[in-house]
């Protein structure tokens, strides 16, 4: 039953992507470029050029971000946390065969996933373990029933991109939401400005197929702007607090609401973890997060030792 439901969710994801790629994007592009900007060339070429340059800059960043969040794997739990692999290591140690598996183990014991200190443990103090994946889960990893595996720093499964949002693609997801919001607002304001100009000039408005397309695109862009403004702002808030959506929901648990977020390192370091330290590529859909998604610096590790 669970596999059938997961297949349905993935099918819905492909359907949502098809709607965006085959319907929404071409409709908005046609309305803005061919019905709004290009007709201005004869009367006001500078306005036409500025509108087209700004739109295509946002449009390219939006499309590339969308592509990256779809195609970038969110990050899976590494092989070293597999139960069978850990059993193999234990047997090797028991029978003195460490040399035969030494090449498959990190030389630095402190950075090995097998010895990583965990800030998230069960109530009895044991390491978190996924019975479905048969793997020990590092901090912030959760099992996605739709993808059928554990995802590093899982935020949520997004049907609009048919992918999990997690450690590796969270930056691209944030940029996609940001550029979708800005582009939608830019298109809606431009169309609305043109409508106001027609009213001021006293020109008669005839409700043809062109005007119908304007109304559809304007309403669609306004709806996307309203929805995504709050949604994107929510994720920037989570980013600055170094929390995922799952961790935010877990805070609603009465038994956990008073717990301090151990991964909150301050806004600056929280930002660097997702966007990196190079400000030139912060808002470009390139690069990746800091770290490996398994080992997480905690606020306790920043406190000076007594």
Q: Which residues are catalytic?
A: 158
Euclidean distance between CA atoms 55 and 219, whole angstroms:
18
Q: In whole angstroms, what is the distance from residue 287 CA to residue 281 CA?
A: 7
- Retrieve residue 124's tokens: 């009895």
CA dihedral defined by 109, 112, 113, 115, rounded to 10 degrees?
Answer: 0
Partner residues linked to 143 by β-bridges: 150
CA-wise closest residue to 178 among 277, 282, 265, 75: 282
Q: Are 102 and 175 in contact (CB under 8 A)?
A: no
- Quick one: which of 149, 145, 173, 146 has its CA closest to 161? 173
């Amino acid at each position: 039953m669970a596999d059938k439901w997961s297949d349905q969710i993935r099918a819905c994801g492909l359907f949502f992507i098809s709607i965006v790629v085959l319907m929404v994007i071409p409709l908005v592009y046609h309305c803005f470029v061919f019905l709004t900007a290009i007709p201005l060339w004869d009367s006001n070429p500078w306005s036409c050029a500025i509108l087209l340059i700004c739109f295509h800059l946002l449009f390219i960043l939006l499309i590339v971000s969308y592509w990256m969040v779809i195609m970038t794997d969110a990050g899976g739990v590494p092989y070293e946390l597999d139960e069978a692999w850990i059993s193999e290591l234990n047997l090797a140690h028991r029978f003195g065969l460490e040399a035969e598996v030494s090449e498959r183990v990190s030389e630095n014991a402190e950075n090995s996933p097998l010895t990583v200190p965990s800030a998230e443990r069960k109530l009895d103090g044991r390491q978190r373990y996924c019975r479905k994946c048969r793997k020990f889960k590092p901090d912030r990893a959760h099992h996605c029933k739709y993808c059928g595996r554990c995802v590093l720093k899982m935020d949520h499964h997004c049907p609009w991109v048919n992918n999990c949002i997690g450690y590796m693609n969270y930056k691209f997801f944030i940029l996609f939401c940001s550029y979708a919001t800005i582009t939608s607002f830019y298109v809606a304001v431009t169309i609305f400005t043109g409508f106001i100009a027609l009213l001021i000039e006293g020109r008669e408005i005839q409700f043809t197929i062109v005007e119908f397309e304007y109304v559809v695109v304007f309403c669609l862009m306004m709806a996307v702007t309203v929805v995504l403004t709050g949604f994107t702002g929510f994720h920037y808030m989570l980013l600055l607090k170094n929390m995922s959506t799952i961790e935010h929901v877990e805070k609603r648990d009465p038994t956990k609401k008073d717990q301090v977020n151990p991964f909150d390192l301050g806004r600056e370091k929280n930002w660097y973890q997702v966007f990196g330290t190079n400000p030139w590529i912060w808002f470009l859909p390139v690069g990746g997060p800091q770290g490996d998604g398994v080992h997480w610096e905690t606020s306790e590790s920043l406190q000076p030792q007594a």
